[in-house]
Amino acid sequence: MSASQLYDNHGRPLNYLRLAVTDRCNLRCFYCMPEEGIKYLPKKQLLTFEEIERLITLLAEMGISKVRLTGGEPFVRTDLMSLIRRIVSIEGINDVHLTTNGILTGPYIPELKSLGIASVNLSLDTLDRERFKTITRRDEFEKTWTTLQQLLRVQIPVKINAVVMDGKNIDDILPLVELTRQHPVSVRFIEEMPFNGEGNHYASLPWTYKKILELIRSHYPMLERLPDPPHSTSTNYKIPGHAGDIGIIAAFSRTFCGTCNRIRITAQGVLKTCLYDEGVLNIKNLMREGRSDDEIKAELLKSFSNRPKDGFEAEERRSGTPAIESMSTIGG
């Protein structure tokens, strides 16, 4: 149980932290990072494991009970497992989740299972090796696929994240849906957002959640809507008789802000109270200035009490730069 309940200024409970442990990655997914010229943060700009542990402990005392580790690719951070071991034992943290591209994840799956990791989100935008190579700019499909099989074998709940990209992987939507026939996996189609480090390349988003849904429904007219779990960002569906289910995430259209329960901490230790804001509090600096736990909590509370009502308001509040930074620094 959380020590207390935390609410924002719009009365939304906050209980979910997504923390990027690094901005580095072993893939170059074109919707997330430019192919070249990426300037990674110097290592001393990343939160240390001690700082992450302290921060999560403070947030757990304030009411955060669920943590997702993301990145960049979390498994490129040296000794990630020692951080996970620390986090699962923090009082008040009930669920620890991971988002990974699966390339380096395989050897750690038995320990993730024994540590009780609640679920893994695996990024997989295509089932075709050549398209995987085009999208991620690396020829690593087999490793991600093997990781998926291993996760299913040990029964760690797994969600596949597939970003829907015009002209790139539309032919993969139905094969990905087909995965749910045999496998107890949740396949989530995500609207492409402008966070690729370069800006939006569409005048208007061609594949909105509505269009993705229409395509799936036209092939599976029996598609059933599932009830929304609390604070879900996806609308969820099931094809009768299939082992798994399907979700569609309106990440660009931003239909889910009204129930948003999440905060983010970027790889450089900056708090974001909305995916679309530009970072509202540098917590790493506070810790390195020697601020006390109570002082840091007070600063966090101030930010939680000034949360934009939705992603559009967060974008308006940005002081200059548009929302185009690489998702590898935000964590998704």
Whether the CB-CB separation of 51 and 100 falls below 8 Å is answered with: no
Footprint of ligand SF4 on 103-162 (CB under 6 A): 123
Distances (CA, A) of 256 to 222, 226, 315: 25, 16, 16
Does residue 71 belong to the site contacting ligand SF4 (CB under 6 A)?
A: yes
Q: Report the half-sphere exposure of 257 (CA within 13 A, side-chain side).
A: 20
Does residue 234 belong to the site contacting ligand SAM (CB under 6 A)?
A: no
Q: Per DSSP, what are the bridge partners of residue 294?
A: none
Footprint of ligand SAM on 105-124 (CB under 6 A): 123
Query: Considering beta carbons, is residue 270 or 300 the nearer one to ligand SAM?
Result: 270
The amino acid that residue 109 corresponds to is I
Query: Considering beta carbons, is residue 160 or 286 the nearer one to ligand SAM?
Result: 160
Q: Report the half-sphere exposure of 71 (CA within 13 A, side-chain side).
A: 26
What is the C-alpha separation between 89 and 226, in angstroms, rounded?
Answer: 33
Q: Binding residue for ligand SF4 (CB under 6 A) from 6, 17, 21, 29?
A: 29
Q: How many residues bind ligand SAM (CB under 6 A)?
A: 22
Q: Which two tokens stand for residue 323?
A: 């929302």
Identify which range of 58-66, 97-105, 207-215, 229-237 contacts ligand SAM by CB under 6 A: 97-105
What is the C-alpha separation between 136 and 269, in angstroms, rounded?
Answer: 26
Q: Binding residue for ligand SF4 (CB under 6 A) from 6, 17, 19, 27?
A: 27
- The residue assigned the tokens 């943590």 is 67
Residues ≥6 apart with Cβ < 8 Å to 174: 215, 216, 219
Footprint of ligand SAM on 51-80 (CB under 6 A): 70-71, 73
Site string for ligand SAM, 9-48 (x = CB under 6 A): ----------------x-----xx----------------
Does residue 195 belong to the site contacting ligand SAM (CB under 6 A)?
A: yes
Distances (CA, A) of 1 to 15, 131, 243: 11, 44, 31
Query: Considering beta carbons, is residue 93 or 109 the nearer one to ligand SF4?
Result: 109
Q: Which two tokens stand for residue 83?
A: 């951080």
Q: Which of ligand SF4, ligand SAM, none does residue 100 bind (CB under 5 to 8 Å by kind)?
A: ligand SAM
Please report which helix (H) or strand (E) contains residue 132, including its range.
Answer: helix 129-136
Which residues make up the interface to ligand SF4 (CB under 6 A)?
25, 27-29, 32-33, 71-73, 101, 123, 327-328
State the residues that interact with ligand SAM by CB under 6 A: 25, 31-32, 70-71, 73, 99-101, 123, 161, 163, 190, 192-193, 195-196, 251, 327-328, 331-332
